[in-house]
Amino acid sequence: MDVETVHIDLGERSYHIVIAEGLLTQSSIWSELPKSATALIVTNDVVAPLYLFSLKQVLSAQYAQVHTVVLPDGEAHKDWQTLNLIFDALLTHGCDRKTVMFALGGGVVGDMTGFAAASYMRGVPFVQVPTTLLSQVDSSVGGKTAINHPMGKNMIGAFYQPQLVVCDLTTLDTLPARELSAGLAEVIKYGPIADMQFLAWLEDNMDALLARDRKALSHAVKRSVEIKAWVVGQDEKESGLRAILNFGHTFGHAMEAGMGYGNWLHGEGVAAGMVMAAELSCRLGMVDQAFVQRLRRLIERAGLPVRGAVIDAKDNAGRYLELMRVDKKSEAGEIRFVLIDGPGKAVMRSAPDALVREVIDSCCA
């Protein structure tokens, strides 16, 4: 399989996303990175036994010292305590501001490594090496880095771009089926917001994606990052257009925070959140019910939840609204949703609380 390359154009902060199988062991992929005596690989205790040795071996040809730090796995550990393990490693090994950091893992590892890189000595270079489908198609691209707070997901972080993103499709072979489905949620979202032809392609190829057909996965990853690169290139710091990438996330983040991080995977929350956002779009007269049902069917085929979680038995909708007001897209306490204004076009809009309550009540199990 040929190496696919997508360029993200951000002036002096531009970089490439490379996509193919077997990249972890290809020395040429890493040869153009910033020169340094030291590298630090950040990974977790699930990924480390699978891929840490391969990455450390290939980097040892370029860096005199390659240090590692292994974090506990899971969204529940995306916090200050775990972040400090990265800083402890950097300081213990005397890493300077030329040290190159490598995020080997999924979205949690990538977000925390990026945030640590943005903060350590006010900024050191880092590379994303995403090993989950979700991180390959979304979180590794675009420079969003963060940790969670008990009151809100990804509320503490920075915009900080990597030097390179290396998507080795081989790593998807060891991905649990639930994680693969979670990644497909972030793939599916690109259709309704930007490319209905891609949505149709996903309908035709969902079985192949679930079977981990390498050609299908390569196309899904490439098209997803092409769309994201196009959006981020126009709005790096989410002052407008980039917010459309959060389709389904406002409802989804509320579920994650309300249930406790780690009970649902991020992609599972996004999946149910997309159905809720589509239903809200329909009730506002922006799409028809046929579109909502089409999206619901595709999400269900991907093995994802299509009904939201009940996070408060006494006042479920009220708890959702409370959590969504902490969302980063909220303005002066007004919740702003990414909605579909006709298939393939996303917009930011607010909606009356009463209508949002109706949607939550109708869409939650």
Catalytic residue among 21, 75, 186, 236: 186
Neighbours of 265 (CB within 10 A): 25
- 2: confidence class by pLDDT, cuts 50, 70, 90: confident
Residue 336 is among the residues annotated as catalytic for this protein: no
Looking at the fold, whether 191 and 322 belong to one and the same domain comes out as yes
Give the pLDDT of residue 233. 85
- 50: confidence class by pLDDT, cuts 50, 70, 90: very high
Catalytic residue among 238, 256, 268, 279: 238
Residue 178 is among the residues annotated as catalytic for this protein: no
Looking at the fold, whether 151 and 244 belong to one and the same domain comes out as no
Catalytic residue among 56, 219, 266, 336: 266
- Number of structural domains in the chain: 2
Residue 223 is among the residues annotated as catalytic for this protein: no
Residue 261 has pLDDT above 90, yes or no: no
**Residues whose CB is less than 8 angstroms from the CB of residue 40 and which lie 6 or more positions away in sequence, other chains included:** 66, 67, 68, 69, 86, 89, 90, 93, 95, 99, 100, 101, 102
| C-alpha closest to that of 209 among 165, 245, 175, 252 | 175
Residue 357 has pLDDT above 80, yes or no: yes
What is the CATH number for 303?
1.20.1090.10
Residue 328 has pLDDT above 80, yes or no: no
Secondary structure class of 262 (helix, strand, coil): coil
Give the pLDDT of residue 332. 66
Give the pLDDT of residue 238. 79
How far is Cα 11 from Cα 6, in angstroms, rounded to an integer? 15
Give the pLDDT of residue 24. 93
Give the pLDDT of residue 235. 77
**Residues whose CB is less than 8 angstroms from the CB of residue 123 and which lie 6 or more positions away in sequence, other chains included:** 97, 117, 160
Which of 156, 174, 192 finishes a domain?
174
Which of 141, 174, 207 finishes a domain?
174
How far is Cα 246 from Cα 220, in angstroms, rounded to an integer? 18
- Over residues 351-361, the mean pLDDT reads 96
Residue 84 is among the residues annotated as catalytic for this protein: no
Tell me the HSE value of 254 on the side-chain side, using a 13 A CA sphere. 31
Residue 325 is among the residues annotated as catalytic for this protein: no
Catalytic residue among 242, 294, 319, 336: 242
Looking at the fold, whether 186 and 143 belong to one and the same domain comes out as no
Identify whether the C-beta of residue 141 lies closer than 8 Å to the C-beta of residue 71.
no
Residue 1 has pLDDT above 70, yes or no: no
Exposure string (b/e) for 130-140, b if CB count within 10 Å is 16 or more? bbbbbbbbbbb
Which of 174, 198, 218 finishes a domain?
174
Identify whether the C-beta of residue 270 lies closer than 8 Å to the C-beta of residue 183.
no
Catalytic residue among 222, 249, 319, 329: 249
Summarised one tens digit per residue, pLDDT across range 118-172 is: 999 999 999 999 999 999 999 899 889 999 998 888 889 999 999 999 999 999 9
Of 220-224, 292-296, 309-313, the range with the lowest mean pLDDT is: 309-313
Residue 228 is among the residues annotated as catalytic for this protein: yes
Give the pLDDT of residue 173. 95
Looking at the fold, whether 27 and 8 belong to one and the same domain comes out as yes
Residue 214 has pLDDT above 80, yes or no: yes
Neighbours of 355 (CB within 10 A): 12
- Output the DSSP codes for 332-358: TTB--EEEESSTT-EEEE---HHHHHH
Catalytic residue among 78, 246, 316, 319: 246
Looking at the fold, whether 283 and 206 belong to one and the same domain comes out as yes
- Over residues 231-235, the mean pLDDT reads 85
Summarised one tens digit per residue, pLDDT across range 54-90 is: 999 999 999 999 999 999 998 899 999 999 999 999 9
Looking at the fold, whether 229 and 162 belong to one and the same domain comes out as no
How far is Cα 77 from Cα 111, in angstroms, rounded to an integer? 12
Looking at the fold, whether 25 and 69 belong to one and the same domain comes out as yes
Give the pLDDT of residue 184. 98
Looking at the fold, whether 145 and 244 belong to one and the same domain comes out as no
The amino acid at 292: V
| C-alpha closest to that of 114 among 156, 74, 172, 76 | 156
Secondary structure class of 68 (helix, strand, coil): strand
Angle between helices 266-283 and 289-301 (to 10 degrees): 170
Give the pLDDT of residue 346. 95
Give the pLDDT of residue 127. 97
Catalytic residue among 12, 35, 122, 314: 122
Identify whether the C-beta of residue 186 lies closer than 8 Å to the C-beta of residue 202.
no
Residue 44 has pLDDT above 70, yes or no: yes
Residue 219 is among the residues annotated as catalytic for this protein: no
What is the CATH number for 98?
3.40.50.1970
When mean pLDDT is compared over 2-6, 243-247, 281-285, the highest value belongs to 281-285
Catalytic residue among 56, 67, 78, 144: 144
Angle between helices 177-188 and 266-283 (to 10 degrees): 30
Looking at the fold, whether 147 and 200 belong to one and the same domain comes out as no
Q: Report, in this order, helix, strand and coil percent for the chain, each rounded to 5.
A: 50, 20, 30
The domain of 235 spans 177-363
Catalytic residue among 189, 228, 319, 329: 228
Looking at the fold, whether 150 and 196 belong to one and the same domain comes out as no
Residue 153 is among the residues annotated as catalytic for this protein: no
**For the chain, what is the mean pLDDT?**
94
